[in-house]
Amino acid sequence: EEQKRLLENRPDQPQNPKVLRIAIIGAPNAGKSTLSNQLLGRKVFPVSKKVHTTRCKARGVITHEDTQLIILDTPGLTNPLKAKRHNLDEAMLTDPWDSMKHADLVLVLVDVSDHWTRNSLSKDVLKCLSQFPHIPSVLVLNKVDILKKKFLLLEIATDLTEGIVNGKKLKVKSALKQDSRSSAKVPPQVTRASPPESKVPGSPCGQGKNQAQEGSDLDKSSDVVGAGTGEAQGPKHYGPKDLKDMKGWPHFQEIFMLAALHGEEVDTLKRYLLMQAKPGPWQFHSDVLTNQSPQEICDNVIREKVLEYLPLEVPYGVTQVTEIWEEGECGELLIVQNLLVPRESHKRMLIGRGGKVISRIAREAGQDLMNAFLCDVRLKLKVEVKG
């Protein structure tokens, strides 16, 4: 009831409100929901190693002083063939594009630990960027902690930007000499040739060498939206033929490096996002963390665990039905949910030997819900074969 009231009421507005709507896009499983949760400081988006954990475009809301950041956590960009394989509805194909229409800034997330995909943006991501070339975009290299050979970050950054950031050619110089066996955390340093002067005092990207050497961000300059290829000029329009030969996007304003799972350098990115906010009314009340209802958060958390512990395609056929949602006398929440599966064999897998699998799902999901709702949660799960 409280969440419903906060969402329906007009937002409280400070004297000079600022707002920034951020679309986070990328290939499935790049870490979009993990990054969103870290920026929010609480887990409200489902996370799993399996692709397509996020099934809808949910909003996350960060309110800091007079600024509101609205995170549009979108499903991973996919195509009709993959959507069919994973039983995904049509919204999974259209939601990322809808989010782009409402965004003031786009974060393109790339998993640098995946050596198959890290040196080129997916065709779906490039197509998305080319459809909205007027929206400023930032490249975020995620999972840099897993990458043992840090010097590869140089090569990855160059490939993904076509060697150009904010209208300037990337100029490469090594911050320290490393060989391929080095386990040092320090990545090489990348700056733009003749970078423009920073116009933002205290910009996270203007802190010079130390920060580049800490591995947060490849760049030393920064009035990001205003410099280089700004909205006034606008990148040229790219047709299907152009995209066919492109590996990267030459219109990123900045590059950041981070490890979203452990929160490394997420605060640097958050400070940067707060600085990019423009004057405008808040969309949500300052107490709102997400536009999802508690029931939606509950469904997402349980589905995340089902995805985590069931093999291959099995979890994508599970239907969730909440039978009981009650608040106890002491403020604890009692939830009973029925998980409907298409086959008897799936039911046996989901329950597990001696009920171990379903017990583990209920225990871990219950713990996550306690952290999300900040109250005691008693969660009971049942499993049945559909109809």
The sign of the dihedral angle between the CA atoms of 178, 180, 182, 183 is positive
Domains along the sequence of the chain with CATH: 1-172+239-279 (3.40.50.300), 294-385 (3.30.300.20)
Nearest alpha-carbon partner for 11 in 56, 59, 58: 59
pLDDT band of residue 75 (cuts 50, 70, 90) is: low
Mean pLDDT of the 293-297 span: 89
Per-residue pLDDT of 338-359, as tens digits, reads: 999 998 988 999 999 999 999 9
- Average predicted confidence (pLDDT) for the chain: 78
Query: Could you tell me the two tokens for 343?
Result: 């086959």
Long-range contacts of range 53-57, CB-CB < 8 Å, 24 or more positions apart?
Answer: 53/29, 53/303, 53/304, 53/307, 55/88, 55/89, 55/91, 55/92, 55/300, 55/303, 56/91, 56/95, 57/91, 57/95, 57/96, 57/98, 57/99
Tell me, what's the pLDDT at 1?
80
Tell me, what's the pLDDT at 211?
36
Nearest alpha-carbon partner for 215 in 165, 168, 261, 268: 268
The pTM (predicted TM-score) of the whole model is 0.75
How far is C-alpha 88 from the chain's CA centre? 19
What is the DSSP pairing of strand 18-26 with strand 67-73?
parallel
Tell me, what's the pLDDT at 312?
65
pLDDT band of residue 329 (cuts 50, 70, 90) is: confident
- Counting residues of the chain whose pLDDT is more than 70, the rounded percentage is 72
The amino acid that residue 298 corresponds to is C
Q: CA–CA separation, 109 vs 139, rounded Å?
A: 6
Q: Which residue has the higher pLDDT, 370 or 4?
A: 370
